[in-house]
Every structure is written in structure tokens, then in C-alpha cells.
Amino acid sequence: MIACEDLIALVRNYNPKTNVARLTEAYEFGFAMHDGQLRHSGEPYFSHPVAVAAILTEQHLDDATLITALLHDTIEDTKASYGEVAERFGEEVAMLVDGVTKLTNLQLSSRETKQAENFRKLFMAMSKDLRVILVKLADRLHNMRTIKAMRPDKQLQKARETMDIYAPLAGRMGMQWMREELEDLAFRVLNPEGRQSIIRRFITLQKETGDVIHRITGDMRTELEKAKIDAQVFGRAKKPYSIWRKMQQKEQGFSRLSDIYGFRIITGSEADCYAALGVIHQRWRAVPGRFKDYISQPKSNGYRSIHTTVSGRDGKRVEVQIRTQAMHDVAETGVAAHWSYRDGVRTQNPFAVDPARWISSLTEQFDGEDDHDEFLEAVKLEMYSDQVFCFTPKGDVVKLPRGATPIDFAYAIHTRIGSACVGAKIDGIRVPLWTRIKNGQSVEVITAEGQTPQVSWLEIATTGKARTAIRRALREVDRERFIKLGHELARSAFEHVGRKATDKVLDTAAKHLLLPDRNALLARLGSAELTGHDVVQAIYPDLARDDGDAISPRRAVIGLEPGQSFERGPCCQPLPGERIVGITFRGKGVVVHSIDCERLGEYEDQPNRWVDLHWHSGTHPAAYAVTLDLTIGNDSGVLGRICTLIGEKKANISNLEFVDRKPDFYRLKIDVELRDVEQLHSLMLAMEAESDVAAIDRMRDKTRFIAGSS
């Protein structure tokens, strides 16, 4: 474990004015609070917070962040309280420690909506003070460095979480060195054979070619000295995971990869950066399409550098990055450069980005995303993206992720322009909206009044901002459509019980169902979140129960054992009046199938599971859903007449879904609740006679089955 004096010495190297007394007090307090606690490796637990603080000293961070690192587990894992930390070390440190504690409690590796909601909380925590995530990243880095002491299943969980979330986040924040180390440590757990294979091939390559890095570094220094450019040159082989990712993306073997070496040139001025670029391009052949100027067009996290790829010795490609020392400091620490100290004072690095502005730009586009899964998708798209720079016709620069299209460009300018987009020109030539924009291209958006976003745009757009805006607009369009459909369904449902769906009735129903107004009620009815029966029952509960002495669905089937339950097979949706048979399932009772159901063939060799059943001969309620596949003409009023016809046949519509929309017809699936097979035949006969119905079939799908059945 690093001693207190050694930690303070690390801080004094860049901040001689550090508050030694406060750091010492934090060290001693953390040591006392964690006394007796051990890590999985058997080491004293406090060795971990000290190591986290030491990692943060490499980024020259301020005292408050270092004290937070020393105390980051005290509120969660010891008897220390928020109030005690605030009293001893100040409100700023207490809030940071509390923020790290909350991040630690987020289970970011859990699935689906929970993961998305935790991502949202993570971004909220970052927006309050970005130092919280800096401590958390250092915490994760040390945990990954010591991961071998954990159980194998925990190692896999932490490694996946690191690869999916923390490594990309570190990269997005500009801390590329940390991203690479986190990826490599996770890669070591997730694919140890793949990593060892890369390392073995590197060793073999070095034996065959000698020390390529030393030779090319020497050549570059010689050329720069000839041009009287004062610069430092560093070279290295890329990390195993970076090589592995290139192999997967390019579908190439190791021997065919060319740019596995990277070189960095640090100059004294911005002018020398461009002069050095000229020297490199004069001496070695530049690879077309591999030049990026992040000095004139910096990344949103403050990163500035010139990137180029050239053909070096023996035709091998090497990547070269050229930047000044100040740019390099930001490139190494990213957003953390805002809190960096040098010689006892806060560094005034002109390239350090304002953390508040950075996190605001990252999160503002997600604020309007109601759906958690869509929020998660948008976050991941933005975190993993690389950038291209393109221009408006006036010459303004627009930054977009690699693979962006004119739709993304239009929404990046303004949501109104994106929604009205009907076409685009790239470098003056009309192109399809799915065209991928390249670096340096000029893009012109063509708009038209009355245009609205199309569903197909979701497959074209790549940025979170564009996809969020498109989804929001489509929801509004869907809302209007659902309200119209809800009107028809409500009218049909109320006519079924001899009543009218007036505005007053619908307002009253909305109030009973705790909805804001009748439009909200109709939208839910049209989107199948409510059924017509639900709405009728809210106003006329007695009329909604109009089946009198009808047989309860719970006792509709005869032949079951006492206490045995049953479910209708979704594959065939059997109705009273049809011949049926049951298949037993552990924990599910009996699943009832019609005698001609195709799924029964799967159980031919299991006769002990078959049960002879038949329907009760009495009157059944209209409670058995059947799905109809319906194709109707695309004319006004057709859907309303169909809904009315279904109501006249004393059937209830429980769900309606559009499957296909064409200029001349609609194809839809309707779930209709029926009494028996006779009512089904009567309904289908009446609908076939309707001139606007092109086709109607009862849907039976053997791929639909009850979840968990086997």
C-alpha cells in the first residue's frame, strides 16, 4: 500500500502548494474507517482508495478530487456518514463522495430498461460535477488491474461492463490512454486466447523485421532536424485490443494489417505542427483518405491534433499524430485538464474544454427521449462515434459522427430543418438521403413546406439527436391517428351496449380512468393500451356485464383434473364449438389446442401428456380472442364501417395493428373477442360480403406459443 508521505510526494511534483494537512487527515480518516476490511486478494481494503488517488495524481488533479478518491467508499462501506465527511472535509468533498457512492450503486451491466435508466442517472451525476466520473473511472481502472482476485463470473461481468460503458466513456472524455488500458484489461478477461495470439504475432513480427519503431522514430527525428523543427518523437505498437478490433472490422488476418504502429510528434507551436506535417508527407507517401485536422476542427472534448497515415519502410503503414505540448496535455487528460495543476496553480490550458459545456452538449439531445431503450441507444451511438467535419453552403462547420447522412446534418442545423427535409445536395450534386457524408464535403439541405418525418428515416439517421427528433414527431403523428381510430373503436363499443360515445361520456370515462382528457383516452384506445370494454365498463359497469348466465371462462373446458388450470394455445386460438385437446406442462397446467393445430405434431411421441377435453355446452361470454388478418381498401370511412360491423355482430375489438400500408390498401391484424366458432363464422361471412374488404383470414401461427412452455 502506498504510504501517505509517498502519495503527498506525488502530488507535490505538480502542486507544491497542496494542502498537506488536509490530504494527511483524509488519508488517516480513510485508513481508520476501513480498518479491518480486506480486499478479495487479502490486502487491506484501504490500499484500493490510495491507489485510486495515485492514478488521479497522474492527471495532476486538485486536492478535492484526491480527497474524494481517498474517501470514495467510506459512506457506502463504513460507519462514516455524509454529515461527518461534510463537517471534516467540507460540503464540496462530501457531495463528490456521495456522487461516487451513487454511481457505485448503479448496476450498469443490468439489461434493457433498467440499464437505460441507470445510464440516465449516470449522465445526471456527471452533469452535477464531472470529477465524480473521473474518480469512478480511476476506481474502475484499479479494480480492472487487480481483477484476478475476483470470482470468474464476477470478472466476466466487470469486464463486459468496462468494455461496454467505462472504456468508451473514458474515450469520449478525451482520456484515450485510460480507454486503451481499460479495453486491454477487459480484453484479457473476455478473450485471453485472442489477446495472447496478438502478442505472439507481435513477437514473431519483431523477430522478422527488427525494431521497426526505433528505426522509424530515428528517421522522423532526422527529417525534422534537417528542417530545423524542434520536436519530440515517440513511437509504439498499438494495444492488442485495438489490433483485434481492426482485424474484426476489416475482416483481415494479422499479417494483412498495416497500421499497427503509431507515432507521435510533439512540437513547440501550432505553426510547427503544420511544418512537421509537410516534412512527414515529403519524406513518406501519405495514404489517401487518412488525414484528419483536429487542430482547425477540434473535437467536442477539447482534443486537438493532426492525424495522418503514411507508408513507411517496406510499405508498412504507420499512423502519425502531431500536436503541441499544450494540446498533448489535453489529449492525455481530456476533460480532466480543466482541474489540472502545474507548479501549484490551476493550469490555464487554452485547449481545455469547459466541463459544464461539454456535458451539456452531450446530454441535451437526450432530454426529450421518453423511452428508456431509445435513450440508451442514443447514448451508445454518441459515445462510440468517431467524427467527420462537413460544411454548410455558407462555410460553417458541422461535426457529425462517422457514417452520418444528410438527415443527421439537417437535424444538426435545426430540428425544424430536419423535419422539413425532402432532399440534399453534396458538393452541389443531388444525392439520396441515405448517402454517407465524408470529411470536408459541403452539404445543402432541400426542404419543403408540409413535409413531415418518415418512419424510414430511423434506419437512415445515425445521431441520437436526429433519431430522438424523428421519433418524437412520429409519435405526434401516431397520436392523431390513434385518436381517430379510438373514436371508431369507442363508437363501436358503446353501440354494442346501445349507447352513444358522446364527448361528455368520453370525458367522464377519462376521469374515471385517471386520464387527463378524452383525447388521451382515445389515443390509448386506438393504440390498444385500453379496450372498448374497459371504457364502457368505466361508465356503464352493469351494461358491460351483459352476458347474464354465461359460463365463466375459468370453467369453460371439461375434462381437467380438480384444481387444474388451462390456457388457450396462442398458435391456434381455439374457440368454444371446436374440437379440442390438451397438452400438459409442468407449472402451467394444460394448454388447449384445436384438434387440427400444427403444433400438436411436436407431441406425438409424448402420449402421456395428452388430455381429452371438450368445451362446456352452455352459452359462453364474448371473451375468447381470435386474430383476423384483414386487407381493406384505403378509402375514407372504411375502417369505421368495419368497426361498426364488428360491433353489430356483438363482438369486441381488443387490439388492432396495421401490418402494411400501401396507397391503395391497408393490411391489418384485428384481435376480436368472440363467444364461439359460430359467431366467428358469422362475422367473417359478413365481412367477406363487405365491398371494401379485399381479403379476410383467421390467423393461425404455429410459431406463436406460450412463453416458457416446453
165 and 22 housed in the same domain = yes
Q: Which residue has the cell 368472440?
A: 674
200 and 235 housed in the same domain = yes
179 and 227 housed in the same domain = no
Report, in this order, helix, strand and coil percent for the chain, each rounded to 5.
Answer: 50, 15, 30
**Most confident range, picked from 38-47, 328-337, 653-662:** 38-47
| Bridge-based pairing state of the strands 589-594 and 580-585 | antiparallel
Determine what percent of the chain is predicted with pLDDT higher than 90.
19
Asked whether the predicted pLDDT for residue 119 surpasses 70, the reply is no
Q: What is the pLDDT of residues 243-283, one digit of tens each?
A: 787 776 655 555 555 567 789 999 999 999 999 999 999 98
Of 189, 207, 229, the residue at which a domain comes to its end is: 189
23 and 164 housed in the same domain = yes
Domain count, the chain: 3
Residue 236: give its domain's CATH number. Answer: 3.30.460.10
138 and 205 housed in the same domain = no
pLDDT at 375: 52
Residue 56: give its domain's CATH number. Answer: 1.10.3210.10
Q: How confident is the model at residue 628 (pLDDT cuts 50, 70, 90)?
A: very high
Among candidate residues 648, 686, 642, the one with its CA nearest the CA of residue 666: 642
Average pLDDT, integer, range 155-159: 89
State the cell numbers at 209.
Answer: 523485421
**Beta-carbon neighbour count of residue 415 at 10 Å?**
19
386 is catalytic: no
Asked whether the predicted pLDDT for residue 531 surpasses 60, the reply is yes
164 and 312 housed in the same domain = no
Q: Which of 76, 184, 219, 534 is catalytic?
A: 76
Asked whether the predicted pLDDT for residue 185 surpasses 70, the reply is yes
Residue 204 domain-assigned (yes or no): yes
Backbone angles phi, psi at 339, to 5 degrees: -105, 5
61 and 89 housed in the same domain = yes
27 and 61 housed in the same domain = yes
Q: How confident is the model at residue 384 (pLDDT cuts 50, 70, 90)?
A: very low
Residue 450 domain-assigned (yes or no): no
38 DSSP assignment: B
Asked whether the predicted pLDDT for residue 523 surpasses 80, the reply is yes
Q: Which of 25, 43, 58, 77 is catalytic?
A: 77
110 and 199 housed in the same domain = no
Cα separation of 171 and 677, whole Å?
Answer: 62
153 and 220 housed in the same domain = no
209 contact partners, CB below 8 Å, separation of at least 6: 314
Q: What is the pLDDT of residues 299-328, one digit of tens each?
A: 766 778 999 988 865 667 788 999 998 888
Range of lowest pLDDT (128-132, 187-191, 254-258, 686-690)? 254-258
382 is catalytic: no
111 and 223 housed in the same domain = no
pLDDT at 376: 52
287 DSSP assignment: P
Asked whether the predicted pLDDT for residue 90 surpasses 80, the reply is yes
Is residue 286 helix, strand or coil? strand
pLDDT at 703: 61
Of residues 372 and 445, more confidence is placed in 445
Q: Which residues pair with 593 in a beta bridge?
A: 581
122 and 237 housed in the same domain = no
Average pLDDT, integer, range 395-422: 87
Among candidate residues 672, 170, 127, the one with its CA nearest the CA of residue 360: 127
Residue 26 domain-assigned (yes or no): yes
Of 155, 189, 223, the residue at which a domain comes to its end is: 189
Q: How confident is the model at residue 113 (pLDDT cuts 50, 70, 90)?
A: very low
Asked whether the predicted pLDDT for residue 347 surpasses 80, the reply is no
Residue 543 domain-assigned (yes or no): no
pLDDT at 28: 92
**Beta-carbon neighbour count of residue 77 at 10 Å?**
14
Average pLDDT, integer, range 89-108: 80
Cα separation of 138 and 54, whole Å?
Answer: 9
Count of positions (residues) in the chain: 710
Cα separation of 365 and 375, whole Å?
Answer: 10
Asked whether the predicted pLDDT for residue 378 surpasses 60, the reply is no
Of 346, 362, 381, the residue at which a domain comes to its end is: 346
Residue 447 domain-assigned (yes or no): no
Residue 677 domain-assigned (yes or no): no
Domain of residue 281, residue span = 194-346
Determine what percent of the chain is predicted with pLDDT higher than 70.
82
Among candidate residues 275, 266, 210, the one with its CA nearest the CA of residue 234: 266
Asked whether the predicted pLDDT for residue 402 surpasses 70, the reply is yes
Residue 710 domain-assigned (yes or no): no
258 DSSP assignment: -
**Beta-carbon neighbour count of residue 507 at 10 Å?**
14
Average pLDDT, integer, range 514-527: 84
Asked whether the predicted pLDDT for residue 642 surpasses 60, the reply is yes
What predicted TM-score, i.e. pTM, was given to this entire model?
Answer: 0.52
Q: What is the pLDDT of residues 535-583, one digit of tens each?
A: 888 887 766 554 555 677 888 888 888 778 889 998 999 999 899 999 9
pLDDT at 151: 87
Of residues 330 and 362, more confidence is placed in 330
Cα separation of 55 and 135, whole Å?
Answer: 9
pLDDT mean across residues, the chain: 81
Residue 561 domain-assigned (yes or no): yes
